[in-house]
């Protein structure tokens, strides 16, 4: 065991020495060495001098730093792009080369081009020395860590003041369904970059919001496209899906969204709000019926009845209700009513059948109890009769 440990240590030391032989920078810059050796750049042979210049062969302070410099913020995008926008250099690694081009189209890139050094640069999202692949769980751009990376600036009210951008975005996102799902490790949930673009970080126009949400919520989008609101997304007044669900603090949906969302734009006593009330009632009533059917089935099962055949029908009713919840995005009352009615009808059937099943069995129990009671009575009578006979004989 000890020999193994010594061998491993010796090998590590030799490995370090061999890197150090060609790259003396990391001998003196020990904190940066730790970050650098974890990065994707180290194994690819991208070294300190590629970004800083200087002479890595010497341990002499002066000679080592001859011609070296720390890149200024203004130089960073160009520096990274000198490799990452070069198809020949990137080809062996199978990496795309459009990050810099996309970056230039983003809100950040445009602000940077206009001389604003507060805007996010490559190193603000990727770090300078601990640059890791997005698949590495500790990477600053891994989906689970990205919100934190953006928060460094977007939750900083001092920094954001001149731009009039809200600073509760990241908190809101974390409280919403998507942020929660990400924290629970759901890889299908969107991160900041899914909606705003990887390197294109831009604001979303109302039309784009429908498209972006629709890449995952396909059915909702198709139904929404048929609604009266669809044409309203051509203007800024109706922010697509976000008009009702919000943008970052999107919550798990309850039917009271009909009260809160619709009333934020439509005045009371208008056709729109009465329609909202009717749609809500349909959904809530079906939901209630399903709930009751489930309760009856649970009770029956607890009483050891065989209700296995009913679960699949309950499931069918649930599917209808789910479809109804999605289809209400058309605001087409007839279509919703049909789906809700089906769910409701199945639930009612289940409930009454489970009830009659219970009643039938209860009657059977009653019959059985009567028969046993009668038999018991006969036995008692026979017993008493024999007792009587024995006493008579003894006398
Ligand atoms: C003999 C030890 C030693 C070696 C070898 C060395 N450095 Fe340094 N370096 C220092 C010290 C000490 C400083 C100044 C304190 C600091 O910033 O850490 C410094 C500063 C720097 C700075 C910041 C300087 C500035 O003002 O912009 C950079 C960048 C840098 N070194 C890069 C390198 C690179 C690249 C190499 C290898 C080619 C290298 N160093 C090799 C010791 C060394
Ligand atoms: C991919 C490019 C890149 C590589 C590789 C790189 N650096 Fe840097 N380094 C930067 C950038 C950009 C900055 C300035 C931004 C900052 O301070 O983070 C910087 C800053 C520095 C600084 C001054 C700021 C500080 O953090 O103290 C030192 C010293 C330094 N680097 C040393 C090194 C050493 C030593 C290596 C090799 C182990 C190295 N760098 C590898 C890009 C790089
Ligand atoms: C000298 C060329 C060079 C420079 C300069 C350079 N890189 Fe790289 N970078 C590479 C190479 C080569 C890889 C491929 C590593 C791999 O995939 O194994 C890489 C990998 C990466 C990765 C990981 C990609 C992935 O998902 O696997 C990121 C992120 C990255 N670089 C960002 C940057 C940033 C940010 C800068 C500027 C601070 C920068 N690079 C500067 C050559 C360079
Ligand atoms: C606002 C934050 C942000 C900025 C600024 C940024 N990136 Fe990225 N970058 C990301 C995110 C997030 C990912 C991971 C994407 C994913 O999860 O697929 C990424 C991925 C990458 C990758 C690897 C994936 C790929 O596209 O093949 C490279 C290389 C890269 N970025 C380079 C750069 C360079 C170069 C710059 C500067 C011109 C830059 N990035 C600026 C956030 C940023
Ligand atoms: C270094 C600080 C910094 C970081 C890190 C940062 N941003 Fe920004 N961001 C800014 C600043 C500053 C602006 C305002 C630029 C402007 O509009 O002039 C901005 C603007 C934006 C905008 C609005 C763009 C527009 O068109 O007006 C979006 C969207 C955005 N950022 C998303 C992100 C996302 C997503 C991340 C993380 C992946 C991120 N930012 C990381 C500083 C940052
Ligand atoms: C599910 C999609 C989605 C996700 C995920 C998302 N956003 Fe947004 N974001 C939006 C929508 C929609 C808007 C509203 C667009 C508008 O107001 O024009 C918005 C607006 C913004 C704005 C402008 C806010 C303002 O005050 O005008 C910024 C900055 C921003 N998001 C950053 C982020 C950051 C940082 C994250 C990650 C923590 C993130 N977004 C995650 C969809 C998303
Ligand atoms: C990358 C895919 C993706 C994108 C883009 C996306 N979502 Fe989601 N969304 C999900 C996932 C996955 C869940 C399920 C989270 C969970 O339940 O754990 C979800 C959940 C929801 C829920 C809760 C559903 C419920 O049953 O209560 C709503 C509402 C929602 N998203 C609306 C939106 C809106 C609005 C947008 C655009 C601004 C959007 N989503 C963009 C993947 C996405
Ligand atoms: C006019 C308001 C409004 C708009 C616009 C809207 N929704 Fe909804 N959405 C609702 C209401 C109300 C519910 C709740 C229905 C219920 O009672 O279950 C809901 C439910 C949902 C659900 C959960 C139920 C389900 O379908 O599984 C998701 C996911 C969802 N919406 C996504 C979206 C997406 C994506 C868009 C854009 C294409 C969008 N919504 C546009 C009002 C809206
Ligand atoms: C962001 C604002 C907004 C929200 C939220 C919103 N609407 Fe609308 N709605 C509009 C606009 C704008 C029109 C078009 C009005 C016109 O053309 O006169 C409209 C039109 C309608 C119409 C057809 C015209 C009418 O007034 O009868 C109905 C029905 C309607 N909405 C129902 C709803 C319902 C139900 C909800 C909630 C689920 C809802 N709306 C949420 C903005 C909104």
Q: How far apart (Å, rounded) are the C-alpha atoms in residues 141 and 35?
A: 16
CA separation for the pair 341, 324 (Å, rounded):
10
pLDDT tops 60 at residue 272: yes
Question: In terms of pLDDT, which residue wins out, 93 or 202?
Answer: 93
| pLDDT tens, position by position, 57-75 | 999 999 999 999 999 999 9
Sorting pLDDT into bands at 50, 70 and 90, what band is 3? low
* pLDDT tens-digit series, residues 352-382: 887 787 787 788 888 889 999 999 999 999 9
Instruction: Check pLDDT > 90 for residue 310.
Output: no
For the segment 21-49, the average pLDDT, to the nearest whole number, is 93
CA–centroid distance, 320 to ligand 8, in Å, is: 16
- Tell me the C-alpha to C-alpha distance, in Å, between residue 208 and each of 53, 196, 242: 44, 10, 11
- Does ligand 4 have an atom closer than 6 angstroms to the CB of 198? yes
User: Is ligand 5 within 6 A of the CB of residue 196?
Assistant: yes
Measured CA to CA in angstroms, residue 31 lies from 25, 37, 41, 127 at distances of: 11, 10, 16, 14
| 210-237: pLDDT as tens digits | 999 999 999 999 999 999 999 988 888 8
Size of the chain, expressed as the number of residues it contains: 395
Whose atoms come closest to the Cα of 67: which ligand?
1
Alpha carbon of 135 to ligand 5 centroid (Å): 23
Nearest CA to ligand 2 atom 26: 32
Of the two residues 51 and 198, the one the predictor is more confident about is 51
At residue 247, the pLDDT reads 94
25 lines ligand 9 (CB under 6 A): no
Tens of pLDDT, residues 141-189:
999 999 999 999 999 999 999 999 999 999 999 999 999 999 999 999 9
**Confidence band (pLDDT; 50, 70, 90) for 2?**
low
Residue among 172, 196, 209, 245 whose CB has most ligand 6 atoms within 8 A, to mutate: 196
Can you give the pLDDT at residue 163? Answer: 94
Buried b (16+ CB within 10 A) or exposed e, 137-151: eebbbbbbbbbebbb
Asked whether 71 lines ligand 2 (CB < 6 A), one says yes
What ranges in 303-332 are assigned the alpha helix state H? 308-327
The residue-averaged pLDDT of 274-288 equals 94
Q: Is 392 a residue whose pLDDT tops 70?
A: yes
pLDDT at 389: 92
pLDDT tops 70 at residue 7: no
For CA atoms 18, 23, 24, 26, the dihedral sign is: negative
Contacts of 333 (CB under 8 A, 6+ apart): 275, 278, 279, 282
Closest ligand to 120 CA? 5
Instruction: Please tell me the predicted confidence (pLDDT) of residue 5.
Output: 52
Rounded Cα distance, 186 and 190, in Å: 9
Q: Helices then strands (H, E): number in the chain?
A: 22, 0
Q: What is the pLDDT of residues 102-117, one digit of tens each?
A: 999 999 999 999 999 9
Could you count the other beta carbons within 10 Å of the beta carbon of residue 233? Answer: 22
In the DSSP assignment, the letter for residue 93 is G
**In the chain, % of residues over pLDDT 90:** 77
Residue 12 predicted with pLDDT over 80? no
Give the residue, by CA position, lying nearest to ligand 1 atom 27.
Answer: 70
CB 209, CB 241: distance < 8 Å? yes
Residue range 122-134: mean pLDDT, rounded: 97
Q: What is the residue with the minimal CA distance to atom 24 of ligand 2?
A: 70
CB 166 within 8 A of CB 75: no
Of the pLDDT bands very low, low, confident and very high (cuts 50, 70, 90), residue 11 is: very low
Q: How far is Cα 336 from Cα 282, in angstroms, rounded to an integer? A: 8
Asked if residue 341 has pLDDT above 50, the reply is yes
Contacts of the segment 61-65: beta carbons below 8 A, 24+ positions apart: 61/28, 64/24, 64/25, 64/28
The average pLDDT across 333-354 equals: 91
Q: How far apart are CA 119 and CA 43, in angstroms?
A: 30
Whether the CB of 126 sits within 6 Å of ligand 3 = yes
Residue 125 has pLDDT above 70, yes or no: yes
Dihedrals phi, psi of 137, to nearest 5 degrees: -55, -25
């Amino acid at each position: 065991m000890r020999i193994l440990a010594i061998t491993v240590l010796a090998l590590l030391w030799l490995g370090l020495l061999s890197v150090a032989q060609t790259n003396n920078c990391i001998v003196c810059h020990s904190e940066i060495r730790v970050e650098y050796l974890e990065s994707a750049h180290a194994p690819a042979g991208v070294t300190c001098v590629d970004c800083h210049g200087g002479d890595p062969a010497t341990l002499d302070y002066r000679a080592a730093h001859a011609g070296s410099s720390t890149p200024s913020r203004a130089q960073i995008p160009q520096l990274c792009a000198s490799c990452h926008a070069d198809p020949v250099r990137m080809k062996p690694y199978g990496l795309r080369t459009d990050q810099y081009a996309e970056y230039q189209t983003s809100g950040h890139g445009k602000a940077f081009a206009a001389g604003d050094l507060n805007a996010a640069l490559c190193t603000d999202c990727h770090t300078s020395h601990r640059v890791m692949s997005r698949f590495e769980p500790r990477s600053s751009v891994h989906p689970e860590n990205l919100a934190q990376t953006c928060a460094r600036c977007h939750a900083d009210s001092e920094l954001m003041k001149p731009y009039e951008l809200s600073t509760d975005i990241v908190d809101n996102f974390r409280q919403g369904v998507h942020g929660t799902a990400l924290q629970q490790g759901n890889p299908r949930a969107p991160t900041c970059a899914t909606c705003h673009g990887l390197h294109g970080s831009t604001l979303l126009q109302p039309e784009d919001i429908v498209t972006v949400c629709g890449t995952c919520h396909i059915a909702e989008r198709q139904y929404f496209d048929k609604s009266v609101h669809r044409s309203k997304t051509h203007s800024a007044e109706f922010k697509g899906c976000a008009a009702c669900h919000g943008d970052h603090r999107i919550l798990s949906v309850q039917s009271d969204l009909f009260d809160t969302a619709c009333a934020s734009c439509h005045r009371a006593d208008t056709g729109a709000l009465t329609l909202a009330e009717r749609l809500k009632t349909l959904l809530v009533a079906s939901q209630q019926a399903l709930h009751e059917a489930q309760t009856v089935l649970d009770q029956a099962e607890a009483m050891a009845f065989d209700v296995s055949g009913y679960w699949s029908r309950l499931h069918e009713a649930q599917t209808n209700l789910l479809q109804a919840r999605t289809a209400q995005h058309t605001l087409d009352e007839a279509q919703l009513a049909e789906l809700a009615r089906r769910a409701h009808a199945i639930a009612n059937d289940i409930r009454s059948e489970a009830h009659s099943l219970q009643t039938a069995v209860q009657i059977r129990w009653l019959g059985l109890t009567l028969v046993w009671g009668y038999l018991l009575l006969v036995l008692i009578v026979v017993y008493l009769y024999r007792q009587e006979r024995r006493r008579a004989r003894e006398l």
